Amino acid sequence: MQEETKLAEELRTRLRALLRTKQQLLIEPIERPVATQLLSHIGGDPYFEQGETWPTNPDTGQPLELIFQLVNPDGAMPWPFEAQVVQFYQNYHWGELPYDDGDPRDFRLKTYPVIRPELLVQVPRPAALPPIGFSYIRTQAVASLPDDDELADIAPELQELSEQIRPKNWRKAYNAAVTELAGEPDLGSWVGGYAQWLQGAYPTGTFWLQFDSTEDFVWGDSGLLYFCVDGDDPATISFQLQSC
């Protein structure tokens, strides 16, 4: 028992070195403000610059739904690339799931390196899209540690240490230490830190963001979208859907 306690303390000590801060995305339905283009939100007017039009499927002309807009002028959200606005559009209203190997014409991820107020223009929401409520997205800094499904890739020595503590249930030993240092592992929406995988770890690059189902958008049975980026180029962002 004394040896197990010693190993558990060693695990906590080594986990502290892996702690990262993630920015939890807290989605709050509120009365829609008059101006929403410079806010992080669901259901508002996106940021557009002069000469731009609402994203559509180029073959069908069908407008894509704005799933979220994240605005990051002060760099509070840890993005691996330069951008002050990120938007994700998808053909959600068709009732089709946004699989990462799906038709790229059915989704669009837009990034703006800087906000340019002098070029700001309002593009009306297409009438073909159903009305949805407005939700403001605010952030909250939270500690983050690796998901046990990804531990073998990130820090295999810590999985081995957890196996020494509880040979028959190493995940329980590991997650007990994670809960003590960073809170109980749970799903949700956030930027940065480590992903919390719903169906197992399948990163397609460096994890950047995960976005949970909301009142407005539900993928499968409470699915999540996971976004990764290869290096520091937003053009290499990829995403995948995991659902129950």
C-alpha dihedral, 76 to 81 to 87 to 89, nearest 10°: -140
Residue 193 has a pLDDT of: 96
Residue 101, pLDDT score = 43
Give per-residue pLDDT as tens, 190-208. 999 999 999 999 998 999 9
- Whole-number percent of the chain with pLDDT over 70: 95
Q: At which residue do the structure tokens 């002069």 appear?
A: 50
Q: Which two tokens stand for residue 102?
A: 């799906």
Q: Residue 140 — very low, low, confident or very high, per pLDDT cuts 50/70/90?
A: very high
Predicted local confidence at residue 1, as pLDDT: 62
**pLDDT for res 103:** 63
pLDDT of residue 59: 85
* pLDDT at residue 94, as a whole number: 52
Gap between the Cα atoms of 102 and 105, Å rounded: 9
Q: Please calculate the CA angle 218-29-242 and round it to the nearest 5 degrees.
A: 20
- Phi-psi label, residue 126: left if phi above 0, alpha if psi -120 to 50, beta otherwise: beta
Could you give the percent of the chain with pLDDT greater than 90? 70
Whether pLDDT at 174 is above 70: yes
**For residue 66, which of 46, 52, 95 has the smallest C-alpha distance?**
46
Instruction: List 28's β-bridge partners, or say none.
Output: 136
Query: 176 versus 103: which is more confidently predicted?
Result: 176
Under DSSP, the state recorded for 110 is E
pLDDT digits (tens, 9 = 90+) for 27-64: 999 999 999 999 999 999 999 999 999 999 888 888 99
pLDDT digits (tens, 9 = 90+) for 69-111: 999 998 888 888 999 999 999 887 655 544 444 566 778 999 9
Which residue segments constitute the domains of the chain, with CATH numbers given?
Answer: 2-242 (2.30.320.10)
Average pLDDT, the chain: 91
The answer on pLDDT for 15 being more than 90 is: yes
Which residues lie below 8 Å from residue 187, measured CB to CB, with a gap of 6+?
Answer: 196, 198, 212, 224
